[in-house]
Structure 1
Amino acid sequence: MADLSIRKVLEQVQSGQLRIPAFQRGFVWDADRVAYLMDSIHKGYPFGALILWRTKEQLNSERDLGPFTLPDREDEFPVDYVLDGQQRLTSIFGVFQSEIAANEGHDTNWTTVYYDFDAEKDLQESQFYALLPDQVDLVRHFPVGKFFDVAGYRAATQHLTPERLEEIDHVQAIFKEAAIPVQLIETDDRAKVAIVFERVNRLGVELDIFQLLSAWTWSEEFDLQDKFADLAEDLKPFGFAAVGEDSNLLLRCCSAIIGSDASSSGLLALNGAEVRDRFDEIISGIKGAVDFLRSNLHVEKLENLPYPTLIVPLAVYFAAKDSKTVLVSEAQRAEMVRWFWRACFSRRFSAGVLRNLNRDVGEAKRLRTSEKLGLSEIPWSIDKEFFIDNRFTVSSVATKTFILLLVQSNPLSFVSGSRVSLGEVLRHYNRKEFHHLNPQKFLKGEGRDSADINRLVNFAIISAADNKALGGVAPSRYRAKLPASKLGNILNSALCPPSLFNDDYGTFIDERSLLLWGAANALAE
């Protein structure tokens, strides 16, 4: 680990050698925190190291250093990008430099820090304060920004008493001798840079890979963030705007389509020019995946999916150059549907996500190019206990899978017998569209607890209006409110046994779980 003096930091920033990559966040420290940093330097307290990335390749997209626009590098590369310590670096530069004017519209009150001669010399309390002009008493306060400005320092000390001149000379000497620890990483391997950035930020704000790839791919004609925003608008009429707003999902699609690797390292290994050149292919893949989910599985929005990740292999299958339509044979369609259900019932993307995802990405590509039916050959199993042991929670994987299973049977209204508007149910997707077949009030009267009542097996697609009409009475009593001529069709469409109306919850659970299990197997086999 090397050290940099404050003077050297100022010189390297002013020469354009020290720079801020676009994937860093902006300057967020307030004036008090900047003043406390000055106090820490003065007292010799540890204040953290700078981590710099030295590279020969300047990024297309960079960030200002707080309110200061950095000059172009005068000498040849390499340049040093700040991976960690940007807030400290900006604070130090802003307080002590006098060469670069701040951009208009930025708060620069934090740059005017003063040493307070009258402050108590205390190990805990600060002797440095960021002050506004009307708060400054030149007898009491000394502008520390003059420490590295020879003429400015001389002028600022002229009115001081000999005692205070000696005191401030000592304080100045501390700052002139202060050493900022620096860890230097020399590499042109961007994946390595991403890992370092992720690890140093893990205890604070996690790595934003979207910002990283935006920096890697940026050009005057191409901004990844704008492209994803346009995609969100394109998908909005179809209920899938959230896909265009989920940067992690979109990035996995990019990496999988271009490099057949949905991991972060695979993503950051992408060539920026290739991402730009093949972006239409990426968009066609995502749109094709959304259309497939809507047409074949009645998925109306991203929130309906047990795992958003399910979109990635489908996007790989439908990705086509020049926005061409990818033809799907019946065998290919059936294979993708089978894979979808097996992945959901097996909770495929709850663990080993990248390993499983990359395997499925490869199989999806083979399915399209060679019609090899290997995509669905994944470990899976389901039994009736799935519907008995899992509780109904709209946001859970099991519940989302269960709801999509019910949707496939085209359920009918319990009150009118008419077909339920699945698009409306799934677009709203809230608890009000799903209710108990054996009402809570009835089961609580039998002494059953909440866990028993809220099993998946006891739920169906029943609107709030229908549920109110049926009332919280025993099934044998609300049966009369169902249209007699359509009763069989209603029960079949809800995958519900006639034993519902016997008011025997134990028998009902056993028989309905078998019906649900059979329906699940029919979809996944």
Structure 2
Amino acid sequence: MKDAQKPDHIGLNALVTRLKEGRFVIPDFQREFEWKPWDIGDLMRSIFLDYYIGSLLLWKGKKENFDALSCEHVYGYDGGDSNREHIVLDGQQRLTAMHYAFIAPDEKLPGRKKRYLYFIRVDRFMEAGDEDAFVYDWTKYGPKLLANPQSQYEQHMFPLAIVGKGGWALPDWFREYEAYWLARRDAAKADGDDEAAAKASRHVEDAKGFGAQVKDVTEQYQIAYIELDRDLEVEKVCDIFTQINSRGVKLDIFDLMNALLKPKGLQLKSLWRKAKPRLSFVESDKLNVYILQVMSILRQTYCSPKYLYYLLPGQAKPIRDASGKITQEVLIADEAEFSFRWKSAVDAMDSSIAMLRHPHEFGVTSSQYLPYVSILPAFSALQAHVASLPAIRRLDAQRKVRDWYWASVFTSRYSGSVESTAARDFQDVRRWIDDANDEPALIADFKHQFRNLELRKETRRGSSIYNGIFNLLVLQGARDWMKGTVPVAGDLDDHHIVPRAWAKKQVGSLGDSILNRTPLTAETNRHVISDRLPNEYLPELVANNGEQQVRDILASHFVSDKAFDILMRNPFTPEDFEAFIAERQRTIQEAIETLLVKRRLDLPVALRELDEGIEQVELRLREAIRTGLGDDAALVPSNVADKVDERLQRALKRNAAMDADHYARLEGQLEYFDLRELQDTLINKLLWPRFEARFGTKEVLNTRFGQFAELRNAIRHSRSVDAVVRKEGEAALLWFQQVLA
């Protein structure tokens, strides 16, 4: 039997030399180098303090394996391929960090705009101030220091790049460092400066002590590694890689899928590299996993890691049927189908992100204002499902997806376990799309809970509710305070209405609440507000533009006339600030109800006013029936009562929190009457005498209901409203308003 695993150790000097020579290569299925500057610094600290940094897993390579796994050199290596020796299966981040710190290639650090250089402050290290001794620099100062040994000696900055030079570079540096401070000591003595001489003497001793310690570390520090035999099959090596990385620090599921797909000839990392630029608007290191989750949701409705495993081509998934019998089903037949479904998932996410960014759809002007990145898999899968429906069904389906999205945002639904939530939401919304009566409980929860939102506590940009309100302000068409136009989305940021400097002193963190912030351009913030109180900058706007125009512009920012008057108070006190945010909270909650709960966000502004009038008429019709029937639910016509009861029972089953006693009374039941059922109740033969005095004749009432319903349904179902329908509908609306007054 071949010696498949060979445990061993390698000294730091030898390891750095091999890194410099290009003996280590990284297989394509490994993740990119992801460590941050401070992670590299922490590794250096661990090495020089003689801490254990874990073992490496290396595979003795040969050309066919280097080629089969698309191996690349460690980041920053600029030599050829002739020295390739080991494929790194575990330890890539550590080896790359050591190469970057010790070899100091002239390359920016991945994910950063600058090159980073690493140093040890000798004086601090010898004072046992280990936490402060390890430093890194990314400014122009770093390369200048690296090129100037005299500055290094003067500032006690030992460049870790000296270790990578090898040969005599290390002992020469410490000899010259010691000589520099010997000369400084002698010069201080000659000048009679005893204090400076004593300090220089201390640095001379530090040079000797630190040099000895670095010599010990570079020559004696050992890194453990396991070497796999070069003749092991690729499939076996991938399996070992998967098992090792699934213990301890959990490996990202994308990397595990990389390892499992590699033997099947699928370059998942290559697929991700092609997809990444299309999704770059969203800043997240989980987008590659989200693509897999979209694939999984669309194929099997679930998306937790164990279900992603069944996306492997040819992998059988156990299925239990209604009788309890377990059968096997292959979800992805082959590599071609995997690639097709991957591309479809990328397309779905790309179009979904574009929809979220649109200033008239969801108003996410930049990635930092996306309420949840984790909602993307469910949202994208639902958008893909809607796109697969017959064209005539997509409008209603899209409205339901929008309702689910906003309900999720304002109930902070995606702040917990997102995989199970995404799968459940996809199933619930899909059923709702198919059956209008099967509304998810989430929608009802949102309708009942939105008024309880404590918006004053939303002070942190990035929370779902904070970002959701910012998005609503964009959708509302918040206009620029200087130009009166709707700014380009990319120019917007959230700025304080009452300046932060004043608020910080007077009301503390409350000044950062979303209630005191609104989307403005940097130019407006600089030239209009400029750290001044509203009672200073608003009068200037009024003087130059007229009061009504300024009030109208602020109204587009959910600043009501009452809030405007509060902002104009002089002096403006903390009590006035409290009154302002209380009024703005009321206005924003009203906007949430109008735009989201009542779905008026889809309507042009002119039709929103009509829809509000229609809603008031419906409420008054319910009240007229309740009064006319003396609150007696038993008098409701049986054909109407049966339909209403059916709806109510479904709603009560979905939402156990509903007040059953309230809906047992006529007042509650009337909430579930549709418009035609209100009409049928009014004109019922037995009940008509109760209403005749108010409505005149049945013929007139039926005509008005017909005209009213035409306008109402056209608005509620986003159908075009022609001139005749609108005129007749408005006449009916006016008639109902008069008779119900």
User: What TM-score do the two structures reach when normalised by structure 2?
Assistant: 0.43
Amino acid at match of 1:264: P
Is 2:551 the counterpart of 1:491? no
**Change beyond 3 A, Cα 1:287–1:26:** closer
Q: Rate the CA distance shift 1:244–1:259 in 2: closer, same or farther, 3 A.
A: farther
Question: Which of residues 260, 275, 283 is equivalent to 2:301?
Answer: 260
Structure 1's 325 and 48: CA in aligned 2 closer, same or farther, altered over 3 A? same
SS in 1 for 2:425: helix
Whole-Å Cα distance in 1 between the matches of residues 473 and 418 of structure 2?
26
Q: Which residue of 1 is the match for residue 586 of structure 2? A: 514
The 1:248/1:283 distance shift into structure 2, 3 A limit, reads: closer
Counterpart residue identity of residue 478, structure 2: P
- Give the corresponding residue for 2:486: 420
- Higher deviation after alignment, 271-280 or 503-512: 271-280
**Distance in 2 separating the partners of 1:452 and 1:131:** 55
State the Cα RMSD in Å.
5.0
Q: Alpha-carbon deviation of 1:278?
A: 1.9
SS of 1:308's equivalent in the other structure is coil
Cα distance, 1:490 vs structure 2 = 1.4
- For 1:437, the equivalent position in structure 2 comes to 497
- Amino acid of the structure 1 residue aligned with 2:384: A
Secondary structure, counterpart of 1:400 in structure 2: helix
Secondary structure of 1:434 counterpart: strand
**Aligned-partner SS, 1:506:** helix
1:224 maps to what in 2? 268
Q: 1:248 aligns with which of 286, 289, 298?
A: 289
The CA distance in 2 between the partners of 1:470 and 1:130, in whole Å, is: 54
**Residues 117-266 of structure 1 correspond to what in structure 2 (within 5 A)?**
197-200=245-248, 202=249, 206-218=250-262, 223-234=267-278, 240=281, 242=283, 246-266=287-307
Question: Structure 1 residues 497, 281: closer, same or farther in 2, change over 3 A?
Answer: same
Q: Which residue of 2 aligns with 1:124?
A: none
Uncovered stretches (5+) of structure 2, i.e. residues with no partner: 9-25, 36-42, 60-64, 74-82, 95-162, 170-223, 229-234, 314-334, 570-575, 598-741
**Pair 1:326–1:406, CA change in 2 (3 A):** farther
Which protein shows a greater Rg? 2
Aligned to 1:282: 345
Which of the residues 346, 354, 366 maps onto 2:419? 354
> Is 1:479 paired with 2:538?
yes
Deviation at 1:287, TM superposition (A): 2.9
Structure 1: which 5+ residue stretches go unaligned? Answer: 9-19, 53-57, 71-80, 89-128, 136-177, 427-432
Letter in 1 for 2:533: A
> Match of 1:104?
none
The Cα shift of 1:221 comes to 8.0
Could you say what secondary structure the match of 1:297 adopts? Answer: coil
Greater fraction of residues in helix: 2
Aligned to 1:501: 565
Q: 1:312 aligns with which of 357, 367, 377?
A: 377
Cα distance per residue 1:297-355 (max 9 Å; x no partner): 1234443311112221122123379x978746332222111111111111111112222
- The one-letter code sitting in structure 1 at the alignment partner of 2:551 is G
Residue 491 of structure 2 contacts residue 522 of structure 2 at CA under 8 Å; is this kept in 1? no
User: Which residue number in structure 1 is paired with residue 455 of structure 2?
Assistant: 387
- CA shift, 1:492, in A, is 1.9
| Structure 1 residues 221 and 265: alpha-carbon distance in aligned structure 2, compared to 1, 3 A threshold | closer
Distance 1:422 1:68, change over 3 A: same
Identify which of 458, 466, 470 aligns with 1:403: 470
SS in 1 for 2:495: strand
Is structure 2 residue 459 aligned with structure 1 residue 459? no
Alpha-carbon distance in structure 2 between the residues aligned to 1:372 and 1:22: 50
CA distances 1:186-243 after superposition (whole Å, capped 9, x unpaired): x99x99985762333x1xxx5133233234345898533333333344456xxx3757
Shift of 1:512: 1.0
Does the 8 A contact of 1:253 with 1:316 survive in 2? yes
Deviation at 1:264, TM superposition (A): 1.8
1:342 maps to 2:407: yes
Once the two structures are TM-superposed, the CA of residue 515 in structure 1 deviates from its matched residue by: 0.8
CA deviation after TM superposition for structure 1 residue 248, in Å:
3.1
Q: What amino acid sits opposite 1:490 in the alignment?
A: I
Q: CA deviation at 1:514?
A: 0.7
Q: Per-residue CA shift, 1:53-86, capped at 9, x if unaligned?
A: xxxxx9x96476996578xxxxxxxxxx997689
Q: How does 1:2-17 map to 2 (within 5 A)?
A: 6=6
Look up the SS of the partner of 1:462 in the other structure.
strand
Flag the structure with more relative contact order, 1 or 2, with Cα contacts below 8 A and sequence separation at least 6.
1
SS of alignment partner, residue 466 of structure 1: helix
What does residue 368 of structure 2 align with? 303
Residue type matched to 2:490 in 1? E
Deviation of 1:371 (Å): 6.8
Per-residue CA distance 1:153-190 (angstroms, 9 max, x = gap): xxxxxxxxxxxxxxxxxxxxxxxxx99899xxxx99x9
* Matched-pair contact (CA < 8 Å) for 2:282–2:373: no
Give the secondary-structure state (helix, strand or coil) at the position aligned to 2:355. helix
The CA deviation at 1:448 is 1.2
| Percent of matched pairs sharing the same residue | 20
TM-score normalised to the size of structure 1?
Answer: 0.58
The answer to which of 505-514 and 371-380 deviates more is 371-380
